[in-house]
Structure 1
Amino acid sequence: IALGHDFNRGLLHKNFWIVEELMGAQGHNVIGYLPRPNQAKMWSYQAFAHGCTNMLYFRWRGMTRGAEQYCYGVVGHDNHYGRRYKEVQSLFSEIVHYEHVLESDIKSDVAVLYDYENIWSWRFQQQSEGFDFTQELLRGYTPFYKLNTPIDVIPASRDFSSYKVLVVPALQIIDEELGKRFTEFTENGGVIIFTFRTGIKDKQNNIHFKQTLPGYVKEITGIEIHEVEALSSTQKAAIKGKGPYEGEQSSASVWRDIITPVTAEVLYEYDDPFYNQAAVTKNQFDRGTVYYVGCGIEEQTFEKIALDIVKQQHIEHRESEDGIEVYPRKLGEKSYYFLMNHTSEVKVFKDIVLQPYESRVVENIQP
C-alpha cells in the first residue's frame, strides 16, 4: 500500500487526492475483507502521511441496486450511523489540525526506479517461472520502507540527480544514454543498487551484441557476467556472506547471475560446489558506490545492506518493530511523525503505546 502511494506521488512529483478510499467491505460479486476497527482509519492516516492531501470515501451509503450494491459504505443500507461512520468522523476531526503538514512537500533521499518498456519486456518473456516484476519492485523497496525513510517511486526517465540512493530492480533495458546518467550519478557520489538481469537489452528489446553484461553499467558495477541461471518457483540457491557479512548464511530465489568481480568487492557468494562465484557485490566508482544483487535475495539479507547504506549516507531513518510504520514529515523547522500500527496487537514505539491498528501524529520524536 505504501509503495502504491509513493508511486502515485511520483507520477507528477506532487501530492495527490484519493477519491475512493475504502471503509466497509467491498465486492461486486464476491464480497471482500471487512477492515477491523480502526484499520481503515489507519490506512487513511498512511495515505495522508505519504502525500494525500484530500480524501473521499467510497462510499457514503451502500447502494440498494446495481453492480455496486455490495460495496458497503460509511453508512449502512439500513441508514445506521454506526462504527464506520464514527471512525470516519474521528479521522477528519483529528487530521484537520494537520492540514498545513499534508500540503507540504515530501523530500526523499531514496528513489526506486521503474520503466514501462522494461516491465512489458518482462511480461512478454518472464525468463524464470518465479519472476514477477511487482515482487522485485517490492524486494528493493521494502528494506528502505522498514527503515521508515521516505521513498519516491519514479520512472527511470525522470531526473534522479538530487537523490542519494537509487534502487533499480530488474532493469534489463538500459541504453547508452541511461547508462551515462547512471555513471554521472555515481561519479557525483550517489549510491545505486542494481538487481539481476540489469542492462541486457536495448530500447528495441534486443539483447546487446558483443557487449559484456551488465552492458552500459558494467564499468560502474565493476563486474562481468558470463553465465546465468533461472531458478524454478520451488528452487533455492544457498549464498554465504563475505567480508563485512562473513559467517552469514542465506538463500536466493527466482534467478542467479554468476558474477565475476573485476574491481568489485564480494559481499555474498553462492554456496555451490560448481558455481561458487559472487552473488552480491559492491564497487567504489569515483565518489560513489554501486551494488549489484545478482539474485532474488531474502528480505532479511537486503535489510542488512539497506541499513548499512542509510547509515553511510547519513539518511534520516528510524528502526521500528515489524508492523510499526513511522513516516516523517517536515514543515519549516518542525518535524511531525505519522505512527501507524499495522498489526492486531498492542505495540510500543519510543515509549508510545499503540493499540491494534491505531494511528496518530506526534511531534519531535527523539532519535
Structure 2
Amino acid sequence: MSKSLTLNELRLGVCYYPEHWDETIWPDDFQRMREMGISIIRIGEFGWSLMEPEEGVFDFSLFDRAVNLAAKFGLQVIMGTPTATPPAWLTQRYPEVLNASHDGTVYQHGGRRHYNYSSTKYRELCAVITRKLAENYKDHPAIIGWQIDNELNCEVNVFYADADHRAFREWLKKKYGTLDQLNHAWGATFWSQTYTDWEQVHLLRPTASNSPNPHQALDEKRFISDNTISFAKLQSDILREVVHNQWVTTNTLFGHLNYHELTGEALDFLSYDSYPLFSTVRPEPGDNPLLDRKWSMNLSAVRSISPNFCVMEQQAGPGGWVNRVGVPSPRPGQLRLWTYQSIAHGADLISYFRWRTATVGTEMYWFGINDHHNQSNRRIEELQRVGVECATIGGKIAGTRYAAKIAIVRDYDNEWDGELDNWHGPMDKQSSLEWFKALQYSHIPTDFLYLHSGITLEEMLKYEVLVYPHPAIMTEETAELMKQYVQRGGTVIFGCRTGYKDEFGHCNMRLSPGPVAELCGIAVEDFTHVIPSEEATQIHFSGGQDAYTADLFNEVIRLESPSVEVMAEYSSKYYKGKPALTRNKVGDGYAWYYGASFNQYVIYEMIARLGIQSPIQEHCIVPKEVEVSIRQSGDRKLLFLLNFSSDSAEITFKHQVEDILTQQQHTGTIMLEPYGVIIVEITS
C-alpha cells in the first residue's frame, strides 16, 4: 500500500537557514516569502552544533526565535533532524562514528555525511538530539512535519568503518544462520573463499584482482539498505512517540536504499530533491537526449513510492560547489517549467532550494531564489508568477494522481547486482532510458513500477503493458506473478539476459530465460556480446522494410511452443534468419521477448505493433519537444503540456479548451512560448 502526502491545495515552500543570517533581516525575508505565495519554510537539518554546542547541553533558542517569528508571518515549518552533520566535539570525542572508504581511509570532520550508520555511539547521540528536538517542538502550532536527516546515502552510499564490518556480520548471521549457508550463498568454494570463522567475513575490501565476489557485493548493498532504514527508523520511532499531528518524511533517492521499505517502515511519504540542470551538464548517452526533461524519469521513480509527494528541494538557480563545475543559470521560464514538471508528476508541495544564496562555505555558489545582493532578480519575478498561479489552481490539482497505462518495471536486487555485473547492468540502464525516452516523445505517460516484497497482482493489473527490460535475477515468485499478470490480460516485455540468475546471483543450470521460459515459450540457444568495434547486428520486423540495430548483446532464440510468433529476425551475422523478437499468447495476454538491449528506434516499432495510443489523440496535436502528463481524480483529468524547448511550440487543439493557469480559451493552433506550460481539463 503506497503512502502519500495528503493536501487539499498545492503548497509552495523554501529552504531557509536562519543560522546563516542576522536576525534583523528575518522579518523582511518572511514578509517577502508571503508576498511570493510561499507558506512553508524548511529549517534545521544542519544545525546540530548550535542545538547542542557541547555534549548534553542543549540550546534551541535561535531556532525557537525563527519558528516563532515565522508563525507570526503565517508561515509553517518543516523541522529537520540535524544528524547529517555531526558537530566537531562529537567526531573528536567519538572518532568511531566516522565513515571510511573502501580501502579503510577514515573520512574526517570538515564536510558532511562523514558518519556511519552502524556506530552504536552515533545512534545513541542521534536518538538524544532527535528526542530533545521533538520534545521542544511537539506542541508548536507552526510545525507541520519533520525531515529525518538529509539526503540519506548522498555523497557516499557505501560504508566501511569498523562498526560497519561488525554490523554486516550480525546482519549475515541473522540472514543465513550458519557459515555453511553463507558459503553456499556466496559461492565460496570458488577461488578458495570458504569461511570458517565469522571474524573472517567483511564488507568488500580491495582485492588483488580488483574483482570482488559478486554475491558478497549484492549482499553488501542489501545490508546497506537495511542498515540505512534502521538508522532512519530510530529517529522516526522517537518522533512518532513524542509528536502528534506532524508528519515524518525524508528527502532522498540515492543509491543502495530500498525506498519502499524505508517509506513503509519509517515515513508518512517520500520526498525528493529535484535539480533538472544536472541532466544538462551530464547528458544521457544516445540520440535525442532528454536533457532537463529526463528529470521526469526520476520524478516517476519517486511517484512509484508515494503517488503524491513533496519536492523538498526544487532547483531555483545556477549551482555548484567551490570545487565542482557548476550548472548553468536557468533560462527565463525554466524555473516555472520545472515547478510544473514536478507538479505534473505528483508533487503537491514544492520547496525551493533556497531562499538566499549563502555567502560562506562549500555551497556559496549554489544559488537560491535571492542572490547574494538580496535585490530583485528575474528568478524572483518568475516565482512570483508561480505563486499567484498555484494559489489560483492549487485546489483543482492537489490530490489528483498521475495517470498511466504503461510502466517500466524495476527491482532493487537487479539494480544493485547490475552495478558490478557488466553482463546485464549496462543493458538495463540503456533500455530503461530508451523506453522512457521513446514513450516521452510518443506522448505516452509512463509510470515506474518497483517489484518489491509487498507488490500485489492488482497493482500490476492497473497497467496494460509492463516493460521489464533485463531482470537477470528472477525468482520463481516473480515469474509466477508475471504469469498471472499475463493470463489476466496484461502484456509483459522482457529483454535479453532475463532470468539467468537466482536470488543469490547464482547462474541457473537451465536454459534462459529460466523461470519465465515457459511463459515466453522460447529458449536461448546461443548468445554473444556485440563488440563496439564491429558493425552492429541488424534486425527486420516481419512485414517491415526498415532495418534496426540490435544493441550490446544478442541472444539467438529457439521457439519452444507453437503459440509463439516471430515478430522480428536477425538479418546479419552468423545467426541471420534466427528469431530476435517473439510474442507468446498466454491466457488473455502476451509475453514478448527481445534478444538484445532496446534502443528507441526498435521501441517505436514495438509501440506501433503493440497498439499503444497517446491519450491526447482526440484532444490535441503537439510536437515531441512538449511533454504530456495527465493527473486524474475520478473522471476529472488535467492535461499538462510542458514545452522543454527554447523555441515556441505549435499546439493544435481539436476542440475548445481553457488553460486553467491563465483562464484563456484556446481552439485551433496556438504557439506555446519557450519553456511554457498549459494545463487544461479534459474528458475521456
Q: TM-score, normalised by structure 1?
A: 0.91
SS at match of 1:63: coil
SS at match of 2:401: coil
1:66 to 361, 365, 368: 361
SS at match of 1:290: strand
1:305 to 582, 585, 606: 606
Q: Who is 1:51 aligned against?
A: 346
- Partners of 1:310 and 1:241 lie apart in 2 by 19
Alpha-carbon distance, 1:65 to partner: 0.4
Q: Who is 1:255 aligned against?
A: 553
Q: Who is 1:119 aligned against?
A: 415
Percent identity at matched positions? 27
1:183 to 453, 473, 483: 483
- Residues 134, 352 of structure 1: alpha-carbon distance in 2 compared, 3 angstrom cutoff: farther
SS at match of 1:20: strand
- Partners of 2:507 and 2:339 lie apart in 1 by 44
Q: Who is 1:137 aligned against?
A: 432
- Residues 146, 355 of structure 1: alpha-carbon distance in 2 compared, 3 angstrom cutoff: same
Residues 625, 644 of structure 2: 8 Å contact kept: yes
Output the amino acid matched with 1:108: A
Alpha-carbon distance, 1:340 to partner: 0.6
- Residues 256, 317 of structure 1: alpha-carbon distance in 2 compared, 3 angstrom cutoff: farther
Alpha-carbon distance, 1:27 to partner: 0.3
Residues 141, 167 of structure 1: 8 Å contact kept: no
Alpha-carbon distance, 1:49 to partner: 0.3
Alpha-carbon distance, 1:334 to partner: 3.0
Alpha-carbon distance, 1:310 to partner: 4.5
Deviations 1:240-274 (A, max 9, x none): 32324x21211122111111233422222212241
Output the amino acid matched with 1:27: G
- Partners of 1:360 and 1:61 lie apart in 2 by 29
- Residues 131, 41 of structure 1: alpha-carbon distance in 2 compared, 3 angstrom cutoff: same
Q: Who is 1:89 aligned against?
A: 384
Q: Who is 1:331 aligned against?
A: 633
- Partners of 1:234 and 1:77 lie apart in 2 by 51
- Partners of 2:369 and 2:308 lie apart in 1 by 25
Q: TM-score, normalised by structure 2?
A: 0.50
Q: Who is 1:342 aligned against?
A: 644
Range with greater deviation from structure 2 (65-74 or 275-284) = 275-284
User: Are residue 242 (structure 1) and residue 541 (structure 2) matched?
Assistant: yes
Alpha-carbon distance, 1:167 to partner: 0.8
- Partners of 1:80 and 1:133 lie apart in 2 by 47
Deviations 1:33-74 (A, max 9, x none): 211111122111111000000001111111100111001111
- Residues 132, 35 of structure 1: alpha-carbon distance in 2 compared, 3 angstrom cutoff: farther
| The structure with more helix, counted as a fraction of residues | 2
Deviations 1:114-153 (A, max 9, x none): 111112222222127x925333221233333333333221
SS at match of 2:489: coil
Residues 431, 598 of structure 2: 8 Å contact kept: no
- Residues 273, 295 of structure 1: alpha-carbon distance in 2 compared, 3 angstrom cutoff: closer
- Partners of 1:116 and 1:333 lie apart in 2 by 34
- Partners of 1:232 and 1:35 lie apart in 2 by 39
Q: Who is 2:301 aligned against?
A: 7
2:494 to 180, 188, 194: 194
User: Are residue 22 (structure 1) and residue 335 (structure 2) matched?
Assistant: no
Q: Who is 1:163 aligned against?
A: 463
- Partners of 1:87 and 1:236 lie apart in 2 by 50
- Residues 40, 66 of structure 1: alpha-carbon distance in 2 compared, 3 angstrom cutoff: same
Residues 251, 297 of structure 1: 8 Å contact kept: no
Residues 45, 360 of structure 1: 8 Å contact kept: no
- Partners of 1:137 and 1:48 lie apart in 2 by 23
2:528 to 225, 229, 254: 229
- Residues 172, 264 of structure 1: alpha-carbon distance in 2 compared, 3 angstrom cutoff: same
Residues 427, 552 of structure 2: 8 Å contact kept: no
Q: How does 1:345-356 map to 2 (within 5 A)?
A: 345-350=647-652, 351-356=669-674
Alpha-carbon distance, 1:307 to partner: 3.7
Q: Which runs of 5+ in 1 are unaligned?
A: none
Range with greater deviation from structure 2 (301-310 or 270-279) = 301-310
- Partners of 2:438 and 2:570 lie apart in 1 by 22
- Partners of 2:631 and 2:608 lie apart in 1 by 21
Range with greater deviation from structure 2 (185-194 or 213-222) = 213-222
Residues 310, 316 of structure 1: 8 Å contact kept: no
- Residues 317, 284 of structure 1: alpha-carbon distance in 2 compared, 3 angstrom cutoff: farther
Range with greater deviation from structure 2 (119-128 or 321-330) = 119-128
Alpha-carbon distance, 1:104 to partner: 1.3
SS at match of 1:360: strand
2:398 to 90, 102, 121: 102
SS at match of 2:449: strand
